[in-house]
Amino acid sequence: MMSLHLLPQRIRRDLGSVVERGELNTGEVILRWSTRTLPDDYDANVEGAQPARTPQQETVTALIHFVGATTKMVNYLEFQAGDAIVSFESTVQIEGRDELTFVLPDGNVYVMSLVGTKVIEYWDVMIGGEKLSQTVALRRRP
């Protein structure tokens, strides 16, 4: 019999295995963002130009759901046909990345869309208050 305190680790491992094997609606997602490192002595009041941004990129596997015109999700004003709902492992860094874009397996570039937290929480996997996945709503970049 398995101890309940080990359940989150087992589910995280099993969920990771499902994603890695390409089961369900999984695919490779390319995260692109930029960074800028300012010198310690940088003063915006004195120096007008900031250092150039450096592009960064990471490829991760995620669960992907595309919102269709006939799905019930379009009943929520936050979603439109063609949007994507993408679930990443909780270890993937989403927050704090400037100009973050997502390239999905369909080849299109997406950006995060503003969706109510109550709606998107339905896709997050949590066990005992521990977040095992993180979900974002994406809209195709114009």
Residue-wise pLDDT for 9-33, tens only, equals: 666 677 667 666 666 678 899 999 9
Instruction: Let me know if residue 87 belongs to a domain.
Output: yes
Residues 6 or more apart whose Cβ sits within 8 Å of residue 37:
51, 54
The reported pTM is 0.70
Number of folded domains that form the chain: 1
Which structural domain, as residue segments, surrounds residue 131?
4-35+52-140
Instruction: Let me know if residue 60 belongs to a domain.
Output: yes
Instruction: Let me know if residue 66 belongs to a domain.
Output: yes
Instruction: Let me know if residue 44 belongs to a domain.
Output: no
Give the CATH number for residue 132: 2.40.10
DSSP 76-90: STT--TT-EEEEEET
Instruction: Let me know if residue 77 belongs to a domain.
Output: yes
pLDDT, tens digit, 9 for 90 and up, residues 45-71: 666 667 778 899 999 988 888 887 655
Can you name the residues that pair with 30 across neighbouring β-strands? 59, 103
Q: How far apart are CA 6 and CA 130, in angstroms?
A: 12
